[in-house]
Chain A
Amino acid sequence: MNATWSRFNIISIVLGFAFLYLPIVLLVVFSFNESKLVTVWGGFSTKWYVSLFHNRGLMDATWVTARVGVISASVATVLGTLAALTLTRYTRFRGRLLFSGMVFAPLVMPEVITGLSLLLLFVAVGLDRGFLTVTLAHTTLTMCFVAVVVQSRLITFDRSLEEAAMDLGAPPVKTFFQITLPVIMPAIVSGWMLAFTLSLDDLVIASFTSGPGATTLPMKIYSQVRLGVTPEINAACTILIAVVAVGVIIASLANKRREVQRQRDEQAAQRG
Chain B
Amino acid sequence: MKSLGSIRRDFAPWNDPNAKPYIQFDNVTKKFGEFTAVNNLSLTIFEREFFALLGASGCGKSTLLRMLAGFEEPTAGRILLDGQDLRGIPPYRRPVNMMFQSYALFPHMTVENNIAFGLKQEGMAKADIDKRVAEMLKLVKLEQFAKRKPHQLSGGQRQRVALARSVAKRPKVLLLDEPLGALDKKLREETQFELMDLQQNLGLTFVVVTHDQEEAMTMADRIAIIDKGEVMQVATPAEVYEAPGSRFVAGFVGNVNMFDGKIAAGEAGSASIDAGNGITIRTENAGSAAAGTSVTFAIRPEKIKVSSTKPAGAVNAIEGEVYDIAYLGDMTVYHVRLDDGQVVRASTMNAARLTEDPLTWNDRAWVSFRPDAGVVLTR
Contacts and interface: CB of A to CB of B under 8 A. Distances in A.
A–B direct touch, CB within 8 Å, in complex?
Answer: yes
Interface residues of A, number: 25
A221 interface: no
Interface string B75-101: 000000000000000111100111011
Interface in B236-286: none
Contacts of B104: 158, 160-161, 163-164
Query: Which of B122, B153, B155 is most buried by chain A, counting CB atoms within 10 A of its CB?
Result: B153
Max chain A C-beta neighbours (<10 A), residue from B69, B108, B169: B108
8 contacts: A166-B91, A168-B165, A168-B169, A169-B93, A169-B118, A269-B154, A270-B154, A270-B155
Contacts of A167: 69-70, 91-92, 96-98, 166
A158 B97 CA distance: 18
Nearest to B150: A269
A262 B152 CA distance: 8
Interface string A143-175: 000000000000000101101111111111011
B102 interface: yes
B121 interface: yes
A269 B106 CA distance: 17
B102 A158 contact: yes
Interface string B42-82: 00000000000000000000000000011100000000000
A269 B92 contact: no
A182 to B, nearest CB: 5
B107 interface: yes
B107 A265 contact: no
Contacts of A270: 154-155
A15 interface: no
Contacts of A163: 69, 71, 91, 98, 100, 104
Interface in B142-176: 149, 151-155, 157, 165-166, 169
Contact of A269 (B93, B102, B157): B157
A179 interface: yes
A249 interface: no
A170 B106 contact: no
A56 B353 CA distance: 97
Given A161-B106, A163-B100, A269 B151 contact: yes
Interface in A94-109: none
Contact of A168 (B102, B121, B149): B121
Interface string B91-132: 111001110111010111000000001100110000000000
Given A183-B108, A266-B151, A269-B152, A169 B100 contact: no
A23 interface: no
